[in-house]
Structure 1
Amino acid sequence: MKIKPNKKIIVGLALLTFALSIIGFGHLNAQAKTTWHTGTPTAIRGTWYYNGAGSNKAYVTYSAHMSKGQYFEKSDADNTYYKLPGYGLKSIKYRYLGQRVYELTGIQYSPKGAKVQFDGKRMTYKVKAISKSKLYFYKGFHTYTKTPKFTVVKANHALS
């Protein structure tokens, strides 16, 4: 006795197999986006400057496993700016969200003698590496560049 294959069952099984394979690949893609990596992404390492108007000038520096940042203070004697002691994140981890967007997380720390409100607490935020010379933060001052548009000095120039 010869068994005739039912076309509806074959088509249904083919569609089910196709749907399961798509769901499986979608799961792998979602899993890749949730993978946390230790350290900071190489695309954002280095020092970045916020070139705001007036005295709104800031920096953030990313090393392999830490970040630090702060405002610049205007020098007393001339139109130059110097870095204030930085605070930031240590034990940084990141995950890539696609389209050059990274989610960073780490433990907040303060410079010696200072204390930020959430010292020792975990903080998470997103940045986008727009290009090799431009970084976009989704919170706070938004666009940072690799070069400051103001003169940076190591310390305050006292009036003489």
Structure 2
Amino acid sequence: MNKGTQLMMTAVASLGFLGAATATTQAATWHQGTPTALRGHWKDKTINIGKYFGTENVYSYESVRVRKSSVNVYLTQSRGWGIRNTKWKRVGSNAYTITGISKFTKSSPARFTFKRVGHGYVHVYYNGRNIAKATPFSPYFYRVSKNA
């Protein structure tokens, strides 16, 4: 075999190995629980909602607590809502999706997505909808504590 043929065969073989290696890294993996990068207490900016109810000073905020196997959302001191029996996967370089069973219906599946939008800030989505979109609250959640 001459050197040109050997070079051509080596190039074709290396492209084949490269294609096989990239195809296996594309697969998404589901993990039990919640990602450790998101665990903790997240909160958005406290605002005066008294003007919406005709009073002077009523302050409120939304918060999200990500625990080892659950995600809970609260409005100031409400009972809250969320999911349990969670599993998660990374859906991009700055986003995670966490699925689980809704705590209200106890049987229907639900999904939270956390998307990093800045240093220390995330947007939180519930079943594809931003949880602060139709409210007067800020969509930017910041980490208050790493302990939920």
TM-score (norm 1): 0.64
Q: Does 1:70 align with 2:70?
A: no
1:124 to 111, 119, 131: 111
Gaps of at least 5 residues in structure 2 are: 50-59, 133-138
Gaps of at least 5 residues in structure 1 are: 73-82, 148-160
Aligned twin of 1:140 = 131
Aligned twin of 2:65 = 61
Matches within 5 A, 1:1-160: 4-5=1-2, 7=4, 9-31=5-27, 34-51=28-45, 53-55=47-49, 57-72=61-76, 83-110=77-104, 120-129=107-116, 130-131=118-119, 133-138=120-125, 139-141=130-132, 142-147=139-144
SS of equivalent to 1:44? coil
8 Å CA contact 1:104–1:124 kept in 2: the answer is yes
SS of equivalent to 1:135? strand
Work out the number of aligned pairs and report it. Answer: 124
Q: How far off its partner does 1:84 sit?
A: 0.4
Q: Which amino acid aligns with 1:120?
A: S
8 Å CA contact 1:44–1:135 kept in 2: the answer is no
Q: Which amino acid aligns with 1:71?
A: L
Question: What's the RMSD between the two structures over aligned residues?
Answer: 2.6
The structure whose Rg is larger is 1
Deviation per CA, 1:18-45, whole angstroms, max 9, x where unpaired? 22122122123212xx011111111111
8 Å CA contact 1:106–1:123 kept in 2: the answer is yes
